[in-house]
Chain A
Amino acid sequence: MVDLLSGIQSTSAALNAERTRMDVISENIANAQSTRGTDGKPYQRKVVVFETALQQALDGTGQVATLKSARIQKESRPALMVYQPGHPHADARGFVAMPNISIHEEMADFIAASRTFEANLAIVRNAKAMALQTLAIGKK
């Protein structure tokens, strides 16, 4: 099938992936102080891993890589031990295991994600303008 909006599959997959990434970043920030999760351990920082998938063009003109998925993985960063003897989750020596999350790192990541999102939106606008021009062929 000829798509009127060329390249829109890879762009929509990318928009989806960036949205997932922003969701994960906000989850990380929200849980920056969570010392107990449902598994009884402190919250573990999550990262999004991007992977490409090759999309074979039907007319055999070549291969276009579309962004397949954004996998969410837990990072193996060790917990931050903070001395807080009065805390209910403190161990015998008075240390509390805190999630090792840096707000600055998350914010920088968030800005990168939203800029990439915008770049993909520019592609959508462009594809739309091109489709309208194509539809106007033969008209004055």
Chain B
Amino acid sequence: MIDALFNSPNYLAAKKSLDAVALRSEAIAANIANLETPGYKRVDLSPSFRAELERACASGDPNQLASLRPALAADPSAVPTGRDGNTVNLEKEMMELNSNMLAHSLETQLVSGALLKLKLAITGKS
């Protein structure tokens, strides 16, 4: 019974996005850490995850949403900025870091909102 409360597609999608944002922050941290490592290729969330999330959201199937797994992959679109073959660009990474931070605020607020609404329904007090 209580499971049904946590299986709404919106809540699951927010949770999965939060997972993706946390993984992405790890990727950005690794990229900045290897800012000056020769031959390092920048990593990011694999592009297929976004498409899969959109498909699962459109279907509205909780099982499909729950089975999503965000993964990291080397970014094929990044080109080396110098002669050492390193594809990390500090300015770009800092921008990504900030946008990731905002995305994290958004997702935590969505999850919080869902939980608070549930609490309101249970207790009748906000």
Contact = CB atoms under 8 A, between A and B. Distances in A.
Interface of A: 6-8, 10-11, 13-14, 50-52, 57, 61-67, 112, 116, 119-120, 122-123, 126-127, 129-130, 133-134, 136-140
B28 A61 contact: no
A6 B112 contact: no
A137 B101 contact: no
B7 interface: no
A64 B27 contact: yes
Contacts of A116: 35-36
Given A10-B29, A57-B26, 5 more contacts: A6-B22, A52-B34, A67-B33, A127-B25, A137-B108
A123 to B, nearest CB: 5
Given A130-B101, A133-B105, A10 B30 contact: yes
Contacts of A64: 26-27, 30, 43, 72
Nearest to B18: A134
B: contact size bracket: 35 or more
Q: Which of A7, A134, A138 has the most CB of B within 10 A?
A: A7
A65 B36 contact: no
Contact of A50 (B28, B30, B37, B108): B37
Interface in B94-114: 94, 97, 101, 104-105, 108, 111-112
Given A7-B26, A61-B71, A64-B26, A119 B105 contact: no
Question: At the interface, is chain B mostly helix, strand, loop or mixed?
Answer: helix
Contacts of B27: 7, 64
Interface in B68-126: 69-73, 90, 93-94, 97, 101, 104-105, 108, 111-112, 115-116, 119
B92 to A, nearest CB: 12
Given A50-B38, A61-B72, A129-B101, A136 B108 contact: yes
Contacts of B104: 130, 133-134
14 contacts: A6-B22, A50-B37, A50-B38, A63-B72, A64-B26, A65-B34, A65-B40, A65-B43, A67-B34, A119-B32, A119-B93, A127-B25, A130-B104, A138-B111
A8 B28 CA distance: 11
